[in-house]
Amino acid sequence: MPDVTCSKCGHDFFGYARDSYWPCPRCKAITWNRTALGYGQTRVSVQSSVREVLELFRKFSPIVTQAGVAQDHASGTQGVEFVVQTEPGRGFRGRFLVEGMGDEREQRQAWRLIVNWLKNTLLAVAFGALRAEEVFAGFAVSAELRGETLGRVIAARVGEGLPSLPGLQFEAELVALREPEE
């Protein structure tokens, strides 16, 4: 059984990682057991998964008009850059990098999860259930963001009020949602 450590405080679970997630006994942060999340035993290489992501973007070219491999040489991470078309002639550039993966197995697993997520997300956008700009906005990059994605900029400023983004409310009280009616 693999040893798992809390991503927030570093507490070692000493092989007790049987479930897919649980609260850390020390800091109460949710800790995920990556091997239990899916694709833990995949043999598909990272490069094959990256090619599959680029092929998905080509298949859904009315949504994603351009795509290519992104490499961050400073951190040694690899990802994909793309252009999302929100309406004819308009869109934004996006990027995601797969970071924080330890060994090769975790990298392969992460890329398989991304392929699966992206395939289903693009199908939902093509079907009309989701909007491309809503799904991919967190991955948007621009000169004003200094190379960071919009999602990372917002995450770093949670709790600061985000005066430049009116209407966003963080640290909101969670409310119970109704179950769907049968």
Report the Cα 11 to chain-centroid distance in Å: 24
Distance, in Å, from the CA atom of 176 to the CA atom of 114, rounded to the nearest integer, reads 30
Q: What is the 3-state secondary structure (H, E, C) of 119-134?
A: HHHHHHHHHCCCCHHH
Residue pair 1/19 in contact (Cβ under 8 Å)? The answer is no
Strand pairing partners for 87?
Answer: 90
- Same domain assignment for residues 10 and 76: no
Instruction: For residue 59, give its domain range.
Output: 46-156
Q: Which pLDDT belongs to residue 4? A: 67
Give the number of other Cβ atoms within 10 Å of residue 26's Cβ: 12
Q: Are residues 60 and 141 in the same domain?
A: yes
Is residue 79 a contact partner of residue 87, using CB atoms and an 8 Å limit? no
Averages of pLDDT over runs of 10 residues in the chain (182 residues) are 66 61 75 62 86 91 87 77 86 83 79 90 92 90 80 75 50 57 71
The pLDDT of residue 20: 66
Query: Does residue 25 share a domain with residue 105?
Result: no
Same domain, 58 and 124: yes
Residue 172 lies inside a defined structural domain of this protein: no
CB-side exposure of 78: number of CA atoms within 13 Å?
Answer: 15
Q: Residue 161 falls within a domain, yes or no?
A: no
Kindly report whether the global pTM for this prediction surpasses the value 0.75: no
Do 74 and 148 lie in one domain? The reply is yes
180 lies in some domain: no
Say how far apart CA 134 and CA 86 lie, in whole Å. Answer: 10
Same domain flag for 28 and 65:
no
Domain count for the chain, please give it: 2
Helix, strand or coil for residue 157?
Answer: coil
Residues 144, 78 share a domain: yes
177 found inside a domain: no
In a shared domain, residues 10 and 29: yes
Distance CA 171, CA 160 (A): 10
Same domain, yes or no: 53 and 115: yes
